[in-house]
């Protein structure tokens, strides 16, 4: 059985950028809903008992419903880990890799912000590491996820409206601006 992970921080740690009410819905209803529906959907199928990564990899072609639920479970679990009340800036090897592949941290931030801002409809902005250990930024629609690819996921921002509508209404820009104060760069570096 897949389980909803506990949030790795107190649910009031990011207010007013991301309120306790948002976590109550986004983690307690949306993410929990994906996990519960995933468990129901895999019951008695070949997917039962497999790891989340295996389910994502094998369901994409044969079972869109299972894929969407499994990928959203992965994406949300990863997203919570990308957040920290302490924030800061990247350091060490990660800072060097960002400078190498984007020119500067500011240029990286601008490109990630632009991808998140201009993404049409529901989806995710991701920083991933691909071939030759090169870092790049990609937008993924709906439940699509780098977990289904050969790329290594490093950092993500949920740009579905449910992620920001309670606290920012339609202002996706203020949601993205605030995100930069709360990135868990230690987690990103570990990936």
Binding positions for Mn ion, rule: CB under 5 A: 158, 160, 163
Distance of closest approach, residue 107 Cβ to Mn ion, in angstroms: 27
Nearer to Mn ion, 158 or 167 (CB): 158
Nearer to Mn ion, 3 or 46 (CB): 3
* 158 in a known ligand binding site: yes
* 114 in a known ligand binding site: no
* 76 in a known ligand binding site: yes
In degrees and rounded to multiples of 5, residue 53 shows phi and psi of -60, -40
26-30 long-range Cβ contacts below 8 angstroms, 24+ apart: 26/76, 26/158, 26/162, 26/163, 27/76, 27/80, 30/76, 30/162
Distance of closest approach, residue 131 Cβ to Mn ion, in angstroms: 29
In degrees and rounded to multiples of 5, residue 43 shows phi and psi of -55, 125
Computed from CA positions of residues 50, 54, 60, 62, in that sequence, does the dihedral angle turn out positive or negative? negative
Nearer to Mn ion, 71 or 98 (CB): 71
Distance of closest approach, residue 88 Cβ to Mn ion, in angstroms: 24
Distance of closest approach, residue 185 Cβ to Mn ion, in angstroms: 21
Nearer to Mn ion, 18 or 55 (CB): 18
Residue 162: strand pairing partners: none
Sheet-wide strand order for 152-158:
135-141, 123-129, 152-158
> Could you report how far apart the first and last alpha carbons of the chain are, in Å?
25
Query: Which residue numbers belong to the known binding site for Mn(2+)?
Result: 26, 76, 158, 162
């Amino acid at each position: 059985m897949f389980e909803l992970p506990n949030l790795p921080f107190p649910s009031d740690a990011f207010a007013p950028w991301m309120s306790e009410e948002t976590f109550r819905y986004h983690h307690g209803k949306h993410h929990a809903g994906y996990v519960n529906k995933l468990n129901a959907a895999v019951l008695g199928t070949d997917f039962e008992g497999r790891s989340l990564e295996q389910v994502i990899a094998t369901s994409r072609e044969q079972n869109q419903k299972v894929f969407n639920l499994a990928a959203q479970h992965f994406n949300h679990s990863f997203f919570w880990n990308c957040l920290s009340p302490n924030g800061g800036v990247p350091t060490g090897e990660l800072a060097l890799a960002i400078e190498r592949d984007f020119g500067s941290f500011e240029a990286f931030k601008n490109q990630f912000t632009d991808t998140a801002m201009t993404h049409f409809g529901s989806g995710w902005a991701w920083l991933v590491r691909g071939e030759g250990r090169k870092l790049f930024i990609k937008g993924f629609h709906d439940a699509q996820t780098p977990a289904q690819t050969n790329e290594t996921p490093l950092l993500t921002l949920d740009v579905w409206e449910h992620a920001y509508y309670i606290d920012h209404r339609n202002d996706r820009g203020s949601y993205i601006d605030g995100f930069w104060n709360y990135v868990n760069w230690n987690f990103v570096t570990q990936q």
